[in-house]
Every structure is written in C-alpha cells, then in structure tokens.
C-alpha cells in the first residue's frame, strides 16, 4: 500500500521524484534495529542447543503476557508432557537437502516447494504487470497507480480472513481455498476489458493471493523439524523466488502472442494445479503437535 502511495504522490511530484521514492523505500530497514531487540528466540531452538535456562526465560515471559492479556491463569501443564526434539549437530546445505528429500520428508518438501512456486509466480506476475495492463486499457500512468491502490487495499482483508480461517479449517485447506479463489479470479481478470472490471477482478485476485500467503507463512514452519526449520522454510521460499523471476519475463514474452487475457488465463491454470497438489499431497497440521509432526519426519 505504501509503495503504491509513493508511486502515486511522490514520483510525479518532481523530476527527481523517483530518487526520493528510492530513499523512502529504504526507511523500513531502520525497523531491523527494533526487531532485533524485540523478537525472542525460539524456545524450541534454544532447547535443541542445550540452552534450557534461556528457553525457560522466554516461555516465562510469554506466559506472563498471556495471563495479563486474558486475565486468567494458564491451564496446568500435562503430567506427561511430550518429549522435545533432541539436539542436532549443524548441517550444511547439501546435508539439509539430503534430509529434506529423504523418503520421510520428500512429500512435504515437494508440496511446500510447489505451493511457494505457484503463489510467488502468480503474485509477482500479477502485481508486476497490472499497471501496464491498466495503461493499455487507456488509463494514464498516474491514474493506473490510483487503481492499483484499490487493488492493493484488498490485500489487508485477504491476510486477516485467511489468518482467521487457518485456525478453523487447517492451514492446508486454507491454502487450497485461497489458491482456488485466486485461480478463478485470474480467469475472471482474463475476461475483462474495462478499467472498472479490471480493477474489481484485480482486487479480488489480490485478496486471494495474499490470503494464500497468510496460510503459507503459517504452514511452512510446521512441516519441518526444529533443527532444520529455518533451512527448510528458507529453501522453500528460495525455490518460490524462481517463480518471481520467471513470471514478469514470461508474461512480457507471451503477452505479445497470447495477449494479457491468455496470460492471466494461464495464471488461473497454474493456481488450480497448486490447489490440487495441496489438497492431494499436502500435510494436515490441524490439532497436531510439532513433536508429532517432527517424529513422523524422522
């Protein structure tokens, strides 16, 4: 949203507006200083490294915040608490890849990589080209940013609705539902021609694309054991970035022969394939502890 507002009001304000826009987009880096101090380390990671005192301190702080927020004491700890994951020695990239593609992990790794590729391909393909699509329909560059702001606004309810649904329909099912919605929206976008209908269809597509991301961000860490969670999530996201590199170029290449209608129609097909893969092969995490999920990955 902020990027769209900068494009609309800062860039055209002066001849060097684009330079000011670059400086403004660098400002959020300052937030790293706050994040570094405010984000606690994962207690599971600390336990896996034998740093139990630090893990206890983090959990105690979380418990106090929960009790303060809810105004009631926490439920008692079960008499037979699940065993935490054993400490593991650090592994390199190739060792991590061997584990992630081993027999117990291959299915969940493949599905996670597929989801990341499909959503990232669709997201960057759409948002990279929507201003151009609007301009080709007779809208000025400045006006195209105004229409884009409306489309970007739909991201906010998309995230929140998916976050709400993740707790009720399982992450896997939430991802599938929003991928299906994105596929239908992409096809709808391919059939529209006026600025108004493009904006409405684009806003609906934006809603579902970002809702999918909300499910993916919740789902990905749950399918990997603690000792390799950051590597597993990072490699999944990295594989998805291949889609973000390919999508804008492929859309520009194929739009000449297929037109934008054909390109976004294919986007819908890609979304349906991602949905099918998630439903058929995705791991259900609802009501299951991370210990249970990790034990099945050994």
Domains defined for the chain, CATH in brackets: 2-78 (no CATH), 95-295 (1.20.1250.20)
For residue 191, give the nearest of 248, 264, 83, 108 by alpha carbon.
Answer: 264
Q: What is the pLDDT of residue 2?
A: 85
The pLDDT averaged over each successive group of 10 residues in the chain (298 residues) is 84 89 89 86 86 93 93 82 59 87 91 92 82 71 74 92 90 91 85 82 91 92 88 94 86 70 68 77 80 68
| Residue 151 and residue 128 in contact, taking contact as beta carbons nearer than 8 Å | no
Q: Would you state the structure tokens that stand for residue 215, as one six-digit string?
A: 């499910």
Q: What is the pLDDT of residue 5?
A: 85
Contacts 24+ apart (CB under 8 A), 190-197: 190/260, 190/261, 190/262, 190/263, 190/264, 190/265, 190/267, 190/268, 191/261, 193/137, 194/137, 195/134, 195/137, 195/138, 195/139, 195/147
Residues 215, 245, 183, 126, CA torsion sign: positive
Please tell me the distance from the alpha carbon of residue 228 to that of residue 189, in angstroms, as a whole number: 40
Tell me how crowded residue 145 is: count the other CB atoms within 10 A of its CB. Answer: 22
Q: For residue 169, how many C-alpha atoms fall within 13 Å in the half-sphere facing its CB?
A: 15
Q: What is the pLDDT of residue 142?
A: 63
């Amino acid at each position: 949203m902020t990027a769209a507002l900068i494009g609309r009001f800062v860039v055209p304000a002066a001849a060097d507006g684009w330079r000011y826009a670059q400086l403004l987009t660098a400002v959020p880096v300052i937030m790293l200083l706050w994040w570094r101090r405010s984000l606690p380390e994962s207690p599971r990671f600390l336990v896996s490294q034998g740093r139990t005192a630090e893990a206890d301190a983090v959990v105690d702080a979380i418990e106090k915040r929960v009790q303060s927020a809810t105004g009631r004491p926490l439920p008692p700890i079960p008499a037979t608490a699940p065993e935490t994951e054993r400490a593991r020695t650090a592994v390199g990239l190739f060792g991590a890849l061997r584990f992630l593609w081993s027999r117990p992990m291959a299915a969940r790794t493949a599905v996670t990589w597929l989801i990341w590729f499909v959503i990232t391909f669709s997201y960057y393909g759409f948002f990279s080209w929507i201003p151009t699509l609007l301009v080709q329909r007779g809208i000025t560059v400045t006006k195209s940013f105004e229409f884009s702001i409306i489309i970007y606004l739909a991201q906010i309810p998309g995230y929140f609705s998916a976050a709400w649904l993740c707790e009720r329909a399982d992450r896997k099912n939430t991802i599938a539902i929003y991928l299906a919605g994105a596929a239908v929206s992409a096809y709808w976008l391919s059939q529209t021609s006026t600025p108004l209908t493009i904006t409405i269809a684009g806003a609906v597509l934006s809603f579902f694309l970002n809702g999918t991301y909300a499910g993916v961000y919740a789902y990905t860490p749950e399918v990997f054991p603690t000792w390799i969670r950051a590597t597993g999530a990072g490699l999944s996201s990295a594989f998805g970035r291949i889609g973000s590199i390919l999508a804008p170029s492929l859309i520009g290449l194929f739009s000449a022969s297929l037109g934008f209608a054909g390109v976004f129609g294919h986007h819908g097909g890609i979304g349906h394939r991602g949905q099918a893969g998630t439903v058929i092969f995705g791991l259900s995490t609802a009501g299951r502890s991370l210990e249970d999920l990790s034990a099945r990955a050994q």
